[in-house]
Amino acid sequence: MGLLSTDQHVTGGSYVVERLLGQGAYSEVYRVRHAILGRLAMKVLRKVGTLAETHRLLGEAVLLSRIGHPNVVRVFDAGTVTTPSGERGWFTMEYVAGGNLDDYRTSHTSGTVPVADAVEVLTQVCAGLTMAHREDPPIVHRDLTPWNILVGQDQRGLRVRIGDFGLARRTDPGTGLTSGEGTLAFMAPEALRFGLGSSTAADVYSVGVLAYQLLTDVLPYRDISFTVYGAALREPPVAPSRFNRDVDGELEGIVLRALEPEPRRRIPNAMALLAELERWRDPTQERETA
């Protein structure tokens, strides 16, 4: 049983719960209807019970939402709601009908996502992430996974939005680092090994895992339990072209540089990764700037 029920009126009747969209260890996501804003997604936080805690969790997400970017999910409102488990924090954000990146990838049942489409997704992810990485000091997402990236359509075609900046944190101005958090399978080796290991380069590693999975349908390492507890031994993965012949040498090089285990040799931030992906899509850019 979920924290909310279908047709329930919450927050003084402002929102009507339509259905449960998904749930995880820390939250549940519902499609809700607002009288003025229409359909939204409401995330109810299983382990957060006060308004102060909710606002603290959403600090960077609200900041990025106010700045505004077509590839970042907008956050609209936040509060607390009474549930069968007690008072719980919630926030509302854009509802994207298409689903998440995992839904998008697995919908291609005849094979992997076409390379051009995969690069389009990654380019939009990097465009949204660039806004966070350009903050001073940079904001690190820390939990880039297929389930936190929403994929839909607009009048121009595919539109990708980064969601769930709830774990996002600013880096220390002196070290460029913040605490390591996130989903284990998508975390950089240094974020797994050290208490203060997350950085813009760690976000790039997470995008590298997403890229590898989109292009090959597998994760870039064999044994998740081994790589978590033996994180120092995580090695560069098998070349993506071994799984997908449509991946050329240049794109393969970009993905492997994003997955470089040593952060000092990795593509450093979303801006640099975006530039490489855009040059791959339009090689004339490199010739014009060379």
CB distance 239 to 253 below 8 Å:
no
Active site residue 7: no
Instruction: Give me 220's structure tokens.
Output: 């870039």
Report how far residue 245's alpha carbon sits from residue 225's, in angstroms, rounded to the nearest whole number. Answer: 29
Same domain flag for 139 and 275 = yes
Average pLDDT estimate for 97-123: 94
Number of domain units in the chain: 2
| Catalytic member of 7, 143, 154, 164 | 143
> Residue 230: is its pLDDT beyond 80?
no
Domain boundary among 47, 76, 94: 94
Report how far residue 172's alpha carbon sits from residue 98's, in angstroms, rounded to the nearest whole number. Answer: 36
Same domain flag for 234 and 173 = yes
pTM score = 0.86
DSSP string, 123-177: HHHHHHHHHHHTSSSPEE-----GGGEEEEEETTEEEEEE--GGG-EEPPTTTS-
Over residues 13-53, the pLDDT tens digits come to: 899 999 999 887 778 999 999 989 999 999 898 888 888 88
Give residue 72's domain range: 10-94
In a domain, 164, yes or no: yes
Q: CB under 8 Å to 146, separation ≥6 — which residues? A: 100, 101, 102, 105, 210, 213
CB distance 146 to 37 below 8 Å:
no
